[in-house]
Amino acid sequence: MSELQAAGEARAKLVVMKFGGTSVEDAKAILRTAEIVRGRRERGLQPVVVVSAMARVTDQLLAAAAAAGRGDKTGALAIAARLRNRHLETAADLLCGEHFAEIEKAIRARFDSLDDLLRGIAAVGELTPRTNDKVVSYGERISSQMVAAAFAQHGMKGAHVDARSCIITDDHYGKAVPQEAAIERKLAELVLPVAAAGNTPVMGGFIGATADGTTTTLGRGGSDFTAALVGGGLHAGAIEIWTDVNGIMTTDPRICADALRVKTISFEEAAELAYFGAKVLHPATILPAVQKSIPVWVLNSRNPTNEGTKITAMAPPCASPFKSIAAKKRLTIIDIVASRMLMTHGYLKSVFDVFDKYRCAIDMVSTSEVSISLTVDSNERLPEICDELGRIADVKLEGHKALICMVGEDIRGRSGISGRVFSAIRHVNVRMISQGASEINMSFMIEESDVEEAVRSLHAEFFGDPDPTVFDVEARAVSAKA
């Protein structure tokens, strides 16, 4: 076998396994995670593990940073103290002997430096995005060390890698943009040799650093993105996203208890779903995997024998028009009315330039003779954006809106689907409609308070008689009997 062939085979055996917050929420969950990784090793695969912070830790770190930023030192330190105890207790449940002694020391040192940082923020009474990223990074830094120690104790040669040495980003704090060429070089230098020696590298998701070493984060839910960057950078054979549901479902199971697992979905469909609100996957996860044609699986760490969802380049044909329904809340509609100028050359550009300046993403656009309606995430920059737009048009805001997005490759070229959609939700007030440029999604805006009812009605209409080749109908039959 040539050297090149051998390298190719070794890479095909690499599997990037990402475990979300609930999969590392306590000692029991971390042990389950360890068993899943062991299973992959026993199959002759070489796992590279990416972990989130323990469940709810990121929210609490953000709350601590915000408290310190308001000058509330006591409040910030109280949150940090609770987090310190939770991590120490988990480590004590999980580890013993030298492994425990080492991690205990590391946890105490990390939390001492977090306390110092929070005191510093409280003293100046100002929280910059850069410092916010630093505070929030502790969650993944500590969880990854703890998981690596658990793997080491259980004979799986866990080896901690500081994600900040590999995931190189720009300095857009809070939503840093990864530098893929630099990441690929760092992974080859720092992770591949560790894996090649038969260890299990474990790194934190979500966090990175600029080229000069300042800590950054990739945005909420960003550990999925890290997994895709690592998978893409290592040219891995597969990426597995381990979470707390059986895979990508026909809608959020928290809204619809009878949501079904989708067995296979295309990259394009999954990307639309993630972008339009399905929390199960971070929207940026798909791209690095698509570029290198790496299959992505979404799997349940509480039910590891379940097949999960496979995301691939091509989806099999499906008798149902849609694969899944996503809902995105906290949106605002901006109506921009400018009777004389709308159709003049360069006007739309001047409107979009304002959004660009504030790095504000637009979800949906519709235009009429005299007005443009846009939808954006409700965010703190909206007053500034509106002020600026106000110089070129009349501007009106409507908050508390939600976007429902129905995704499926099989809506292409079918007629009568929108009739079914809108008759299923005829009692709901629909504000804006778009049949996506991608031809695989149909989206519309409704009131936030109507989301649950609308999703349930649509789900009943389109998934009442699901295609068993694409959806896991057996699970529904089993739960109906139970």
Residues that bind Mg ion (CB under 5 A): 20, 221
Considering only residues 47, 178, 201, 221, which one is a binding residue for ligand ASP as defined by CB under 6 A?
221
Q: Which of the listed partners (Mg ion, ligand ADP, ligand ASP, none) does 245 bind, with a CB threshold of 5 to 8 Å by partner kind?
A: ligand ADP
Least distance in Å: CB of 453 to ligand ASP?
28
Cα separation, 197 vs 190, in Å, equals: 12
List the strands of the sheet with 200-204, edge to edge: 158-160, 200-204, 46-51, 14-19, 238-243, 296-300, 309-312, 264-266
For residues 20 and 237, which CB has a smaller minimum distance to ligand ASP in the complex? 20
Considering only residues 14, 36, 51, 52, which one is a binding residue for ligand ADP as defined by CB under 6 A?
52
- By CB under 6 A, which span of 23-31, 221-229, 247-255, 411-419 interacts with ligand ASP? 221-229
Least distance in Å: CB of 18 to ligand ADP?
8
Cα separation, 226 vs 207, in Å, equals: 8
Q: Count of CB atoms within 10 A of residue 101's CB?
A: 11
Site for ligand ADP, residues 204 to 233, rule: CB under 6 A? 221
User: Considering the rule CB under 6 A, would residue 244 count as an interface residue with ligand ADP?
Assistant: yes
Least distance in Å: CB of 220 to ligand ADP?
9
Site for ligand ASP, residues 113 to 172, rule: CB under 6 A? 139
Q: Which two tokens stand for residue 374?
A: 């846009």
User: Considering the rule CB under 6 A, would residue 223 count as an interface residue with ligand ASP?
Assistant: yes
Please give the full DSSP string across 232-249, using - where no structure is assigned: HHHT-SEEEEEESSSSSB
3 state DSSP class of 130 = helix
User: Binding marks (x or -) toward ligand ASP, 34..53, rule CB under 6 A?
Assistant: ------------------xx
3 state DSSP class of 201 = strand
User: Considering the rule CB under 6 A, would residue 178 count as an interface residue with ligand ASP?
Assistant: no
List the strands of the sheet with 168-169, edge to edge: 168-169, 207-210, 215-217
Least distance in Å: CB of 223 to ligand ASP?
3
Least distance in Å: CB of 380 to ligand ASP?
18
Least distance in Å: CB of 207 to ligand ASP?
9
Cα separation, 191 vs 183, in Å, equals: 11
Tokens 């306590």 -> residue? 26
The residues, any chain, with a CB within 8 Å of residue 198's CB and separated by 6 or more, are 46, 157
Q: Which of the listed partners (ligand ASP, Mg ion, ligand ADP, none) does 82 bind, with a CB threshold of 5 to 8 Å by partner kind?
A: none
For residues 52 and 144, which CB has a smaller minimum distance to ligand ASP in the complex? 52
The residues, any chain, with a CB within 8 Å of residue 208's CB and separated by 6 or more, are 163, 164, 166, 167, 168, 169, 176, 178, 215, 216, 217, 218, 226
Cα separation, 84 vs 146, in Å, equals: 13
Cα separation, 289 vs 291, in Å, equals: 5
- By CB under 6 A, which span of 74-82, 250-258, 356-364, 401-409 interacts with ligand ADP? 250-258
Chain residue whose CB lies nearest Mg ion: 221
For residues 178 and 205, which CB has a smaller minimum distance to ligand ASP in the complex? 205
User: Considering the rule CB under 6 A, would residue 69 count as an interface residue with ligand ASP?
Assistant: no
User: Binding marks (x or -) toward ligand ADP, 8..27, rule CB under 6 A?
Assistant: ------------xxx-----
CA distances from 174 to 19, 62, 89, 117, 285 (A): 21, 11, 30, 18, 17
Cα separation, 395 vs 365, in Å, equals: 15
Considering only residues 122, 159, 168, 280, which one is a binding residue for ligand ADP as defined by CB under 6 A?
280
Contact assessment for residue 94 and residue 104, using Cβ atoms and an 8 Å cutoff: no
Considering only residues 136, 230, 249, 393, which one is a binding residue for ligand ADP as defined by CB under 6 A?
249
User: In Å, how far from its chain's centre is CA 290?
Assistant: 16
Least distance in Å: CB of 322 to ligand ASP?
26
> How many CA atoms lie less than 13 Å away from 363 in the CB half-sphere?
32
Considering only residues 137, 210, 285, 324, which one is a binding residue for ligand ADP as defined by CB under 6 A?
324
3 state DSSP class of 462 = helix
Least distance in Å: CB of 201 to ligand ASP?
18
Considering only residues 178, 208, 222, 233, which one is a binding residue for ligand ASP as defined by CB under 6 A?
222
Least distance in Å: CB of 224 to Mg ion?
6
User: Considering the rule CB under 6 A, would residue 206 count as an interface residue with ligand ASP?
Assistant: yes
Task: List residues near ligand ADP by CB under 6 A.
Answer: 20-22, 52, 221, 243-245, 248-249, 251-254, 278-280, 324
| Contact set with ligand ASP (CB under 6 A) | 20-21, 52-53, 58, 139, 205-206, 220-224
